[in-house]
Amino acid sequence: MKVAIEKMEWVYAEPTVLLRIVNRVAIITLNRPQALNALSHHMVKALSDLLRRCRIDDGIVAVVLEAAGEKAFCAGGDVRELYQRARKNDQAWLQFFVDEYRLDYALHKFPKPVVAILDGVTMGGGMGLAQGAWLRVVTERTRMAMPEARIGLIPDVGATSFMTKMPIEVALYFALTGASLNGADALMWNLADLHVSSEWLSTFEERLMAVPPSNLDPSFPDRLKRALREVFDAGASHAGRAPTRTLAPLIKCFFDPRMRIENIVGKLKDRVAINKGSEAAQWIETTVTALEQHSPTMLYVTREMMLRGRCASLGSCFRMELGCVSKAINDGDFVEGVRAHLVDKDRKPRWAPASVWEVRPERVQYFLASPWRVDEHPLRDIEILHP
């Protein structure tokens, strides 16, 4: 089936998602730079619609995801919008996550090559879009993070699956602390495929236009992928320094998957005094501070979900994440976390319970148990691509 898509822009009340076609490649642009391209529900639905059309159009051979502005690819979901709905007990927020996870799953399973240009801040929902791509391109401006525990949520959008590409200790560190990784880190820990300069990326359309049509023939997928990679690959490494490379021994020491959260925090605190003045001291203190500021309950839940994701299918991971997010917003720390960090900005969230030593195992299991029966789960059919 073929649906004609000519050179165009997909414009809504506000043009927050744009589309243009260059040499049979669809370039989709997140166009909300004033909000660091944070995803609204409106944008999620627009992206899903465009991807469906690109999937069934024989005239489209590949997709490029990019973003307007120089600061961010996508800083995540529109948390304030979710917060306002949750405070009003408006359950419409649930549909945002259902639609977002379906979009992310579709990107992971997209039958044509998808290139994601991650130039700038890439967090939360931005990671959901990025990590499903065939070719993930980062730059010197890339900053990746999954800081959801800071506002009383868990790393979602498929994180329990795509973070299995990382060593388990690094995945736990990244998920629990919300630490930011630069482009070189992302390349080293399998969250990116190419590291180039942002200046090189500014001219990718010119190179794409120059690709001979025979090299973009979908009948020869390997040749098509080689041609696309050459458009984005600068031919030399621009990765620079990966800060976490030198931290790897510390990360592996403190984020052993056999250790519970209270053991991780306790061990870090014990080492603060011992390592006073050493090179490791600042990292240890920063790590302790991050863990103590995050939702204690969600730290425990995040650890368990990261471990479970190691032996679960992609669809199962999304279903597990949706159940947990649903409970975190309805019954957990999300509303308080957003209030403290994004609304009132007093930076003093009143977590319940208040410390990692007070979190009961049954409370953790409550968040991990699905709120729906298997046949009633909103993502029960996520593996089916809807035309």
For residue range 323-349, what is the model confidence (pLDDT) as tens digits?
Answer: 999 999 999 999 999 999 999 999 999
Tokens of 188: 């080293």
In the structure, how many helices (H) and strands (E) does the chain have?
A: 17, 10
Q: How far apart are CA 98 and CA 272, in angstroms?
A: 42
Whether the predicted pLDDT of 9 surpasses 80: no
Classified as helix, coil or strand, 26 is: strand
The pTM of this model reads 0.93
DSSP symbol at 339: I
Q: Average pLDDT, whole number, for the chain?
A: 92
For residue range 16-53, what is the model confidence (pLDDT) as tens digits?
Answer: 999 999 999 999 999 999 999 999 999 999 999 999 99
Whether the predicted pLDDT of 12 surpasses 60: no
Whether the predicted pLDDT of 365 surpasses 80: yes
For residue range 97-126, what is the model confidence (pLDDT) as tens digits?
Answer: 999 999 999 999 999 999 999 999 999 999
pLDDT band at 78 (very low <50, low <70, confident <90, very high): confident
Q: How far apart are CA 12 and CA 308, in angstroms?
A: 40
Tokens of 17: 């998602």
For residue range 210-226, what is the model confidence (pLDDT) as tens digits?
Answer: 999 999 999 999 999 99
pLDDT over 90 for what percent of the chain? 84
> Which domains are present in the chain?
17-232 (3.90.226.10), 250-376 (3.90.226.10)
Q: How far apart are CA 332 and CA 115, in angstroms?
A: 36
Q: How far apart are CA 214 and CA 34, in angstroms?
A: 40
pLDDT higher for 85 or 379? 379
